[in-house]
Structure 1
Amino acid sequence: MAIQAINVRNQFKGKIKEIIEGPVLSEVDVETPAGTVTSVITTRSIKELNLGVGSEVIAFVKSTEVSIAKL
């Protein structure tokens, strides 16, 4: 399957660094040139996509809100 077009502008290509698998939801850490991006997806999706540590992926970030805190 190849992605031909997508409207998400924030895309980070990287490799899966770690998967913390739960019974229903799992955390996926993706190491990108910009840093680590963490996603929470269903464990079922991890299995259906055959994801594992070292898999090359694209992390898509789309949000209607971005919060900023002053340090």
Structure 2
Amino acid sequence: MDPPVVLADEPTGNLDRASGQKIIGLLRGLNRDLGKRVVIATHGPGVAGDCQLVVRLGNGEASQK
């Protein structure tokens, strides 16, 4: 199996900061090194800040930041 898209729902949600950073590093590596699209659902502004594209969902609408 070699999926083109990786879906990650709150991948750092219950982790300490160091472990969370490692997970984000792994996801970034999948994108950078293997060309995978990574879609992350998060409530963490720090995680969103590391992303190339941020889409916010609220009040039934999606907006790109």
Structure with more relative contact order (C-alpha pairs < 8 Å, separation 6 or more): 1
Q: Same fold (TM over 0.5)?
A: no
Bigger share in helix: 2
Bigger share in strand: 1
